[in-house]
């Protein structure tokens, strides 16, 4: 569920464009007006505003915004104003240029979007960068990272609910064998994760847990996870835990993130937010990315997960860690909690 | 250029559907009528006829055809009647089930279609088979075949004309190094072939030839290729020849086919037709596949290439090797030569 709210009485796109143009005019910029409009329009509405703005004022709205705004606030407004496919293309391109183990944008785009949305991002990448995502990812990565990332960003997974149970069993066995032998970049393991539908993968991981998770009840305390939480994690947990073998291994971290993104994206995003907020100096890059990419999709569920895990509402945590227009923009997108 | 011809005065889809229904009725089937209609309608027209047929007679036209027709003729009519994206999905699925070194359908679909058409085939595969192409290809292949085929069928290449010359040089060098060391399934070699745009690959292979093709003038005679032909092959030839190292290696054959499909599809298809016809017992599978998939695309250029290479018009070669309704169907699609 989205957190984005749109006013019941919506001004038309021409009016919004005019207001935005006014917000940029004269001395100083009216940041509040910009937030009021852009943080409360859906993708189709924002697209229309951008089109009307260009035809009326002869300038791209995003360029005008970039001129007027700065720093984290600029990035938040810019990212949210973008069409979702263009935004993903933009984030993916950024990630290929400065690929690091802390940058999970590619995994998020490849594994939490629908197959159709991932394809639209690939199409937007063509028109924005005159290249393909997979071309850049393959060119800028090597070894195990490349083996995992290229098929993920190239995937077009089947999205129906059909499950093949015998396949789930045989592939759970393969996964268990590979993980037991620490063959985390084995091509069979990657094949299963990169090509199977999310429903099929869910069945496989469920079987993995049932078949190979006998000793698992001991595990939660070790990892500080309450038993109640543990149950909702069940399907996922055993395999994720098996992959904890070497917490310093960045490739393993990426593999764990991949599986979380594919099987329970709201838990994955909760953790990204938690790590971005609970540290010395906020990780604004991650915070902005998650809020702007999920506000229109499932940020409500991520908020619920965040509260359940941290006993603090997400908006309060963000308010404590950020300030100024950047804080305002994020809070408008996240929505205030009732708590 | 296509060889498909459509009559100037076109009956509407309802009339075509009615005629087809009549062709199936009573004693015996009117094969000529079926050929006259279906071999002379373009993809959009055939699609409309199929829709009208279903809504009028409550049966899928393709199922009706399959009941009435048989053998090679049935397959030719069935394949051509299909929507191109569905046809590619159908051929790809068939190929994953009985993958053999003589079955190049996957390479053809991955490398000779436009990026958009390949994507439409992937989408059609979802709806027909409740799986993804890459999932089936990855599941049914192993080793080097998998390494090459999975990225090829998952690709969404950029299709613009832009070329990066320094990249072409550096990647020509990589290709030369890998091929010199017979590392034909090296991941860098596969990355370049599977992800770069066709324009970029053309520039890279051109550079490969200029830089590493010094001794090449000696080569044509060895391989029985006249010098005139050789010149038009120039860009391609050096690398293809370098890959001839071991003609018995099926993976190498597949790699050569990949490069030919990407750089000069009409030469590739000419060879498939030549091999299908010039052998003991025609290879109807390949013949039907090439004629039905290319009639609406570039069969005219393939015919020209065929004549240049064999000094026999393609239609005469087909007429000599086939008979009956199957022959008639193919000849209507190929078109009669003026020669």
CA distances from A86 to A3, A79, A83, B253 (A): 21, 9, 5, 39
Fold of B13-69: Annexin V; domain 1 (1.10.220)
**Residue A262 pLDDT greater than 50, yes or no:** yes
B205 in Cβ contact with B263 (< 8 Å)? yes
The domain covering A160-263 belongs, at the CATH homologous superfamily level, to Annexin (1.10.220.10)
Q: Tell me the C-alpha distance between B193 and B269, whole Å.
A: 19
Q: Which residues have a Cβ under 8 Å from the Cβ of A283 and sit 6 or more positions away?
A: A275, A276
- The answer to whether the annotation marks A321 as part of a ligand binding site is yes
A151 to B146: CB separation less than 8 angstroms, yes or no? no
B261 in Cβ contact with B112 (< 8 Å)? yes
B134 to A195: CB separation less than 8 angstroms, yes or no? yes
How near does any CA of chain B get to the CA of A176, in Å?
17
B102 in Cβ contact with B94 (< 8 Å)? no
Mean pLDDT for chain B overall: 89
Structure ipTM = 0.87
A195 to B151: CB separation less than 8 angstroms, yes or no? no
**3-class DSSP string for A181-237:** CCCCCCHHHHHHHHHCCHHHHHHHHHHHHHHHCHHHHHHHHHCCCCHHHHHHHHHHH
Q: Which residues have a Cβ under 8 Å from the Cβ of A280 and sit 6 or more positions away?
A: none
Where residue B127 falls among pLDDT bands split at 50, 70, 90? Answer: very high
* Structural tokens at position B304: 């020209």
Q: Tell me the C-alpha distance between A305 and A106, whole Å.
A: 23
B20 in Cβ contact with B29 (< 8 Å)? no
DSSP A59-116: S-HHHHHHHH--HHHHHHHHHHHS-HHHHHHHHHHHHHHT--TT--HHHHHHHHS-HH
A156 to B130: CB separation less than 8 angstroms, yes or no? no
Helices (H) and strands (E) in chain B, counts: 21, 0
Confirm or reject contact between A132 and chain B (CB < 8 A): yes
* Structural tokens at position A85: 């496919």
Question: Would you report the helix, strand and coil content of chain A in percent, each value rounded to 5?
Answer: 70, 0, 30
Confirm or reject contact between A168 and chain B (CB < 8 A): no
Confirm or reject contact between B30 and chain A (CB < 8 A): no
The CATH code of domain B264-339 reads: 1.10.220.10
Q: Tell me the C-alpha distance between B151 and A75, whole Å.
A: 34
pLDDT computed for residue A243 by the predictor: 74
B207: enclosing H helix or E strand: helix B198-212
Residue B189 Cα to chain centre, angstroms: 23
- The answer to whether the annotation marks B319 as part of a ligand binding site is yes
B157: which chain A residues are within 8 Å (Cβ-Cβ)? Answer: 132, 135
- The answer to whether the annotation marks B295 as part of a ligand binding site is no
Q: Tell me the C-alpha distance between B72 and B77, whole Å.
A: 9
Tens digits of per-residue pLDDT, A98-132? 766 556 899 999 999 999 999 999 999 999 999 99
- The answer to whether the annotation marks B279 as part of a ligand binding site is yes
- The answer to whether the annotation marks B322 as part of a ligand binding site is yes
Tens digits of per-residue pLDDT, B57-110? 999 999 999 999 999 999 999 999 999 999 999 999 999 887 665 568 999 999
**Residue B217 pLDDT greater than 70, yes or no:** no
**Residue A316 pLDDT greater than 80, yes or no:** yes
Mean pLDDT within A203-214? 86
Q: Which residues have a Cβ under 8 Å from the Cβ of B181 and sit 6 or more positions away?
A: none
Tens digits of per-residue pLDDT, B223-252? 333 333 444 455 555 777 777 656 668 899
Q: Which residues have a Cβ under 8 Å from the Cβ of B251 and sit 6 or more positions away?
A: B144, B145, B148, B184, B185
The domain covering A84-156 belongs, at the CATH homologous superfamily level, to Annexin (1.10.220.10)
Query: Is it true that B13-69 and B264-339 share their CATH fold?
Result: yes
A138 to B162: CB separation less than 8 angstroms, yes or no? no
Q: Tell me the C-alpha distance between B179 and B135, whole Å.
A: 29
B135: which chain A residues are within 8 Å (Cβ-Cβ)? Answer: 157-158, 195-197
B87 in Cβ contact with B290 (< 8 Å)? no
How near does any CA of chain B get to the CA of A148, in Å?
12
Q: Which residues have a Cβ under 8 Å from the Cβ of B145 and sit 6 or more positions away?
A: B99, B251, B254
Confirm or reject contact between B198 and chain A (CB < 8 A): no
Tens digits of per-residue pLDDT, A128-154? 999 999 999 999 999 999 999 999 999
B154 to A159: CB separation less than 8 angstroms, yes or no? no
pLDDT computed for residue B232 by the predictor: 47
Q: Which residue of A has its CA nearest to B156?
A: A132
Confirm or reject contact between B157 and chain A (CB < 8 A): yes
A118: which chain B residues are within 8 Å (Cβ-Cβ)? Answer: none
Question: Would you report the helix, strand and coil content of chain B in percent, each value rounded to 5?
Answer: 70, 0, 30
* Structural tokens at position B187: 């991941």
pLDDT computed for residue A25 by the predictor: 86
CATH architecture of B162-263: Orthogonal Bundle (1.10)
Smallest CA-to-CA distance from B17 within B53, B42, B41 is with: B53
Cα atoms in the Cβ-side hemisphere of radius 13 Å centred on A207: 20
A240 in Cβ contact with A274 (< 8 Å)? no
A135 to B157: CB separation less than 8 angstroms, yes or no? yes
How near does any CA of chain B get to the CA of A108, in Å?
19
Size of interface A-B (CB pairs under 8 A): 89
A321 in Cβ contact with A277 (< 8 Å)? yes
Q: Tell me the C-alpha distance between A178 and A173, whole Å.
A: 9
The CATH code of domain B88-156 reads: 1.10.220.10
Residue spans of the domains in chain A: they are: 13-69, 84-156, 160-263, 264-339
C-alpha Rg value of chain A to the nearest Å: 21
Tens digits of per-residue pLDDT, B159-179? 999 999 999 999 999 999 999
A156 to B155: CB separation less than 8 angstroms, yes or no? no
Q: Tell me the C-alpha distance between A57 and A54, whole Å.
A: 6
Nearest by CB to residue A195, choosing from B130, B132, B155, is B132
A71 in Cβ contact with A326 (< 8 Å)? yes
**3-class DSSP string for B243-284:** CCCCCCCHHHHHHHHHHHHHHCHHHHHHHHHHHHHCCCCCCH
Mean pLDDT for chain A overall: 89
Q: Which residues have a Cβ under 8 Å from the Cβ of B331 and sit 6 or more positions away?
A: B315, B318, B319
B170: which chain A residues are within 8 Å (Cβ-Cβ)? Answer: none
* Structural tokens at position A142: 């090597």
Smallest CA-to-CA distance from A133 within A95, A84, A81 is with: A95
pLDDT computed for residue B99 by the predictor: 64
A196 to B135: CB separation less than 8 angstroms, yes or no? yes
A126: which chain B residues are within 8 Å (Cβ-Cβ)? Answer: 115, 156, 158-160
Where residue A14 falls among pLDDT bands split at 50, 70, 90? Answer: very high
Helices (H), B39-160: 43-57, 61-68, 71-81, 84-97, 105-112, 115-129, 133-140, 143-154
Q: Which residues have a Cβ under 8 Å from the Cβ of B53 and sit 6 or more positions away?
A: B17, B20, B21, B59, B60, B61, B64
pLDDT computed for residue A224 by the predictor: 37
B131 to A155: CB separation less than 8 angstroms, yes or no? no
Confirm or reject contact between B131 and chain A (CB < 8 A): yes
- The answer to whether the annotation marks A256 as part of a ligand binding site is no
How near does any CA of chain B get to the CA of A317, in Å?
41
- Report the predicted TM-score, pTM, of the whole model to 2 decimal places: 0.90
A133 in Cβ contact with A90 (< 8 Å)? no
């Amino acid at each position: 569920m989205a957190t984005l709210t749109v006013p019941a009485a919506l001004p038309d796109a021409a009016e919004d464009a005019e207001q935005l143009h006014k917000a940029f005019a004269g001395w100083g910029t009216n940041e509040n007006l910009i937030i009021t409009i852009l943080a409360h329009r859906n993708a189709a509405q924002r697209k229309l505003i951008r089109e009307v703005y260009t035809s009326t004022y002869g300038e791209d709205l995003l360029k005008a915004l970039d001129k007027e705004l700065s720093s984290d606030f600029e990035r938040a407004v810019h990212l949210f104003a973008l069409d979702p496919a263009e935004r993903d293309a933009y984030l993916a391109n950024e990630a290929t240029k400065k690929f690091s183990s802390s940058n999970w944008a590619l995994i998020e785009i490849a594994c939490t979007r629908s197959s159709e949305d991932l394809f639209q991002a690939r199409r937007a990448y063509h028109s924005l960068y005159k290249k393909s995502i997979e071309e850049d990812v393959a060119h800028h990565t090597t070894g195990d990272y490349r083996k995992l990332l290229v098929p993920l960003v190239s995937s077009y997974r089947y999205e129906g609910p059909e499950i093949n149970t015998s396949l789930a069993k045989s592939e759970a066995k393969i996964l268990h064998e590979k993980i037991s032998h620490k063959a985390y970049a084995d091509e069979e393991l990657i094949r299963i994760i990169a090509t199977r539908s999310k429903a099929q993968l869910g069945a496989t991981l469920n079987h993995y847990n049932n078949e190979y998770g006998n000793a698992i009840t001991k595990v939660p305390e070790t990892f500080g996870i309450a038993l109640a939480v543990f149950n909702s994690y069940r399907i996922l947990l055993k395999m994720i835990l098996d992959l904890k073998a070497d917490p310093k291994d960045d490739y393993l971290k990426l593999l764990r993130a991949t599986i979380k993104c594919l099987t329970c994206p709201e838990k994955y995003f909760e953790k990204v937010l938690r790590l971005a907020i609970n540290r010395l100096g906020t990780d604004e890059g991650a915070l902005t990315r998650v809020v702007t990419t999920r506000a229109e999709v499932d940020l409500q569920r991520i908020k619920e997960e965040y509260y359940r895990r941290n006993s603090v509402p997400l908006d309060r945590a963000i308010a404590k860690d950020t300030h100024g227009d950047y804080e305002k923009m994020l809070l408008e997108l996240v929505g205030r909690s009732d708590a």
